[in-house]
Amino acid sequence: MAEQAKVGLGLRREMLDEFCQQVPDEINFFEVAPENWMTLGGKFGKQFRQLTEQHDFFCHGLSLSIGSPEELDTEFVKQIKAFLDLHQISIYSEHLSYCSGTGHMYDLMPIPFTDEAVTYVVKRIKQVEDILERPFILENVSFYAAPGAQMNEQTFVNAVLAEADCKLLLDVNNIYVNSINHQYDAAEFLASMPTERIEYMHIAGHYEESSDLMVDTHGADVIDPVWKLLQQSYQQHGVFPTLLERDFNIPETSELLIEINQIHQYQQQALLQAKSRSA
């Protein structure tokens, strides 16, 4: 499983000049939202192409809107496929949520946790996979209300993954945020996720609005309970490529490398523990 011990960073436009000169060895892959990059030309376009030719890239979409009540935007999915093909990117993930109806909301809305919604989302996932000619990877999302829920979040996530036969992007910060906001056991939720479906992982910081309200912002350092959850995940599910998300309040690379190296450390510890158990 050693090849799974990889740590990545979300690439931002302001990082291009630096990383086109040199990418630190500690960064094993980059993740981008294709919507933010597929129309770029000029200097940014050339720099991006240089990086995709030299480094591993994952794509994590923002606006597919897999749970939208509107028809799937197949033209958009075809544009995503062209982008993935051009840059030879095999990993494409999206959120188990929706962000559009009759218009675009630019926010991730919770899909009702119902049997009907499971069937609906699964059908749309199959459509996307047919166009992309790649496995579809779904992320468990943070949410702040659960309208019309007939089951809990972990049952819904597991049902979609099983019926769609798709992969999981396991976001440990989202588990923590939801466990506080909706008062459930984060460790129990983590343990219930299907190991065999995990493709890679996210970790991030968030904002504490109050003691019982966490907001998933990706704008702060990772806190201790989330680090602990990451360690538990490696122990329970094994080591998977893990991305540090930082979308704003972005510090210097040297500071980001502190958290990136912490992920590396936890990965190596888990691999050593697994090796000693099997010895």
Q: Which two tokens stand for residue 120?
A: 């609906």
Write the CATH number for 33: 3.20.20.150
Residues of the chain with pLDDT under 50: 1-2, 100-106, 207
pLDDT value of position 100 = 42
Determine which helix (DSSP H) or strand (DSSP E) holds 176, and give its type and residue range: helix 172-181
Which residues lie closer than 8 Å to 80 by C-beta, 6 or more apart?
Answer: 34, 38, 59, 61, 64, 92, 132
Residue-wise pLDDT for 88-110, tens only, equals 999 999 988 656 444 444 455 56
Instruction: Give me the number of domains the chain comprises.
Output: 1
Residue-wise pLDDT for 20-57, tens only, equals 999 999 999 999 999 999 988 899 999 999 999 999 99
pTM: 0.90
The residue range of the domain holding 42 is: 2-278
Q: What is the DSSP letter of 276?
A: H
Q: Which two tokens stand for residue 167?
A: 């992969």
